[in-house]
Amino acid sequence: MKVVIIGGVAAGPKAGSRINRLCGDAEVTIVEKGEFLSYAGCGLPYYISGVVKEQRELMSTPVGTVRDCVYFQDVKNVRVLNRTEATAIDREARTVTVVSREGIEQKLPYDKLVLATGAQSVIPPIKGVELENVFNLKDIEDAERIKTMLGDKKALNAVIVGGGLIGVEVAEAFQEMGCRITVIEFQLQILSLVDPEIAALAEKHFEANGVKIKTGTKVMEFKGETKVSSVVTDKGEFPADIVVMAVGVRPATGLAVAAGLKIGPTRAIAVNAQMQTSDPDIFAVGDCAEKYHLLTGQPCYVPLGSTANKEGRVAANAICGVHDAFPGVLGSAICKIFDYSVACTGLGEGAARAAGFDVVTCLSPAPDKPHFMPTAKLLYLKLIADRKTRKILGAQATGPGVADRRIDVVAVALAAGMTVDQVAHLDLTYAPPFSPAVDNLLTAVNILRNKMDGYLSGVTPAELHAMYEAQKEFTLLDLRSPTEYQQMRIEGSTHIPLGTLRQRVGELSREKPIVAYCKMSLRGYEGALILKNAGFKDVTVMDGGLLMWPGKLIKG
């Protein structure tokens, strides 16, 4: 069996190696356009920042062997043609035409073909985008060019166009290199994979670390003679010694389109659960292949190295006759912003509403370990669930606390179709150095249950802020301690410490709606129940409390 694989970075080598392991007599050839093989593209920002010292580390095995052509031949019994571009697929003749950098063309016959052509950076046709020092960051060559330009220079003005995962990682890397950074994002928030409240916290953290974030801002032009010198936007001009374009990637489907393979609605190559394209002898894996969302069943495009590896294995299994099926993705993602992380899985609030769910959400900011442990750190958690089925739909988190663990737990719960009640009873590992006795996630899920069961009516901080700005008639009831209230508070709020509320209910108007809150709104919830039990009709709780309040606070 002859197998040709086009693409040698992630999913391609994975598929090739496993095919050889399963079918020792298969003749596997990988065709790779670039110089380098099987490298960690996701590690590029960390190579730029110097966290990863050497280029070769990105393409080595854990014990330091570089995965070059010789390695693939000797260890994996896989032939690699690097610096070689596949230019055409002849599905009738079952051949792939390839051309080496030296211009030598040949036709490779195949029984099975695997497309692992990856993604390419989107380069918008902005005036000046071709100027020197305007970079992409897609491969090792890009990273080398950026590193060379940065050199030992300090305090360069860097502009990053695009505040998605890559833009955010590059911003952090450039900050570590001593640049003055501005991130320009066309949308109203960075990290559009999370909801606005979570993105706002991430933006705040960037600003606190000296990175300027300009959202809702459109790049009009890159100015400069030969080298870029500034970025002109609809909100002003920003000096720029270096620009990185990170406005997104799209699947590299040129070959597939030319070969007449079916392309899906996301413009990636359509595949079934075995990663098979519309031609049963051709498979597509990794960033060029379309994904399905596990919760909606709809096609989606979430290019990630983690998924690419799984898909490479599934395609290899299918080619070798081992039963396997890739069920789809949840859009799980994570990134680091200095000492914060931002992570998500499943559907955001907007996507959940758009998909027709009866959405219930909660915001729960809380320490990620018992508050008495000095290692405890704040984690902001948002959960999304469906009132009708009580199923959990998604989770998002940010802050200095441990996010990945909680988001991964939800990812598994989503894959299993669990209800909030099932999640609340999960037997997660517990000891004080690792988590509170009632883990943040379980506290948050219990808030959802209380909402679904009618014990808690929440109002989001954004909704409340809009009511407040509109000067609606309602009582903002702050239940914190006198010391906390003294330190900071919302103007016009009524202050009754929770411990005295039962005695002082008489002071509150029964005519006006009451919104109760505290720092995180756990006391807000207690207070609302006291008021309900005392006969107050219209009592809600501000989700997440003052920690999530987007408006102004008076201090001192």
Q: Name the E strands within 147-298.
A: 157-161, 180-184, 212-214, 219-224, 228-233, 236-239, 242-245, 249-251, 282-284, 291-292
Residues whose CB falls within 8 Å of the CB of residue 429, separated by 6 or more in sequence, listed in order: 435
- Nearest to a second copy of 338, 474 (CB atom): 338
Structure tokens at 379: 């984690």
Count of other CB atoms within 10 angstroms of residue 553:
12
Distance CA(94)–CA(113), nearest Å, equals 9
- Nearest to a second copy of 181, 501 (CB atom): 501
Q: Give, for 337, the enclosing helix (H) or strand (E).
A: strand 333-337
- Nearest to a second copy of 44, 89 (CB atom): 44
Structure tokens at 312: 């490479």
What are the C-alpha distances in Å from 311 to residues 89, 294, 327, 530? 21, 15, 10, 53
What are the C-alpha distances in Å from 81 to residues 7, 11, 133, 232, 295? 10, 16, 31, 43, 39
Is 42 one of the catalytic residues? Answer: yes
Residue 410 CB, nearest distance to a second copy (Å)? Answer: 9
Residue 125 CB, nearest distance to a second copy (Å)? Answer: 30
Q: Which of 42, 179, 300, 320 is catalytic?
A: 42
Residue 290 CB, nearest distance to a second copy (Å)? Answer: 15
Residue 449 CB, nearest distance to a second copy (Å)? Answer: 9
- Nearest to a second copy of 33, 313 (CB atom): 313
Q: What are 516's strand-pairing partners?
A: 477, 541
- CB 409 within 8 Å of CB 350: no
- Nearest to a second copy of 131, 424 (CB atom): 424
Residues whose CB falls within 8 Å of the CB of residue 384, separated by 6 or more in sequence, listed in order: 346, 347, 348, 349, 352, 359, 360, 361, 392, 393, 394, 395
Classify the C-alpha dihedral 524-529-532-537 as positive or negative: positive
- Nearest to a second copy of 214, 310 (CB atom): 310
Count of other CB atoms within 10 angstroms of residue 227:
13
Residue 390 CB, nearest distance to a second copy (Å)? Answer: 11
Residue 521 CB, nearest distance to a second copy (Å)? Answer: 12
Residue 385 CB, nearest distance to a second copy (Å)? Answer: 16
Residue 414 CA from chain centroid, whole number: 17
- Nearest to a second copy of 96, 542 (CB atom): 542
Phi, psi (deg, nearest 5) at residue 318 = -60, -45
Distance CA(488)–CA(554), nearest Å, equals 5
- CB 312 within 8 Å of CB 116: yes
List active site positions: 42
